[in-house]
Amino acid sequence: MAVPVIAGLGTAHPPSAGQDELWAGFFSRHFSGSTRAMAQRIFANSGVTRRQAAVSPLLEDVSEWPTERRMRRYQVEAVPLGRQAVERALAEAGLAATDVGLLVVCSCTGYATPGLDIVLARDVGMAPDTQRMFVGHMGCYAALPGLGAASDFVTARGRPAVLLCAELTSLHLQPARTRMDTQQIVSHALFSDAAVAAVVVPDGRGYAVREVASVTDTSTADHMTWDVTDTGFRMGLSPQVPQVLSVHVRGLVEELLTRHGRKLSEVDGWAVHPGGPRILTVVERELALPADGLAASRATLAEHGNCSSPTVLLILDRLARAARPPERVVLLAFGPGLTLYAALLDRQD
């Protein structure tokens, strides 16, 4: 039976701006009264120094745009960004577009039909019989079920698959209010745009996908939401999210490792979705990780912000390109549900 292996990763980013530049050039005027002082503190303590935006608020204020206009712009911006990521991943894996048997696309920030899956398969030159799957509205953890689906296809069919995660959170800037709730301020301080593609092949060199696992606490379903409104998609983010993660994360990881005869101490690479600084702190504490255990996650948050579904793959790419890439990696991502996903990867040459 074929072992699914991540043989290529490709990343693509729109133009970036500094967090201080974004605050001074736009967001300081987006908030008013006592809310502005609170927002400035949240921006300063976000752990983010730079972010990327396909539609930068420094150049174009979309906060009053209706959802239809945002969706039309999504298609304009997401297609070239996604294509760049896919072509880079295929090049790294040494494959042609016609070799791909399945294209999985994850995105929660835009919808259209024909969608990214159809348009990108056409534009990069995939074969007419390439199967497609679109994973929508799963949020920040979508890369892992997407990776699971791609891996299952590779194992069952013995053909390569491509996973693309593409998010344009900049399109969902919310209108300024006299008093904006803290959840929206946190969202505006953290989120960023990116596209990352992963090529999964049967056997070969790279990171073998041993298992993808999850747990969902439906009693906290209202803690993280992503609502479609007349002015884009609106984030709901409870301050209790880190507390819920603290209840479940160690059990999920230990059970995953135990099924493969491994222990926490044997993991030398951690790609943990940086939903924010508090989430990383909680994961670090609950898993008793060393001081530098989440260095790649924190560096990714600082340089790219929270890009939603592509973020965990950005961290994996950072780990894979290190001078000494880790041998065993655990990916962790969290999102609506409240859902935790984990994946175990082993490096093989």
DSSP run (H or E) holding 195: strand 193-202
Rounded Cα–Cα distance for residues 110 and 96 (Å): 27
Choose among 226, 259, 184: nearest CA to 339: 226
DSSP string, 245-257: HHHHHHHHHHHHH
Q: At what angle do helices 182-190 and 33-44 cross, to 10 degrees?
A: 40
Residue whose pair of structure tokens reads 């049967």 in the numeric block:
202
For the annotated catalytic residues, the residue numbers are 140
Residues paired with residue 3 on neighbouring β-strands, in sequence order: none
Q: At what angle do helices 311-320 and 143-157 cross, to 10 degrees?
A: 70
Rounded Cα–Cα distance for residues 169 and 308 (Å): 8
Report helix, strand or coil for 12.
strand
Rounded Cα–Cα distance for residues 29 and 163 (Å): 39
Half-sphere exposure of residue 51: CA atoms within 13 angstroms, side-chain side: 29
DSSP run (H or E) holding 30: helix 28-30
What's the angle, vertex CA 250, arms to CA 264 and CA 339, rounded to 5? Answer: 130
C-beta atoms surrounding 113 within 10 Å: 7
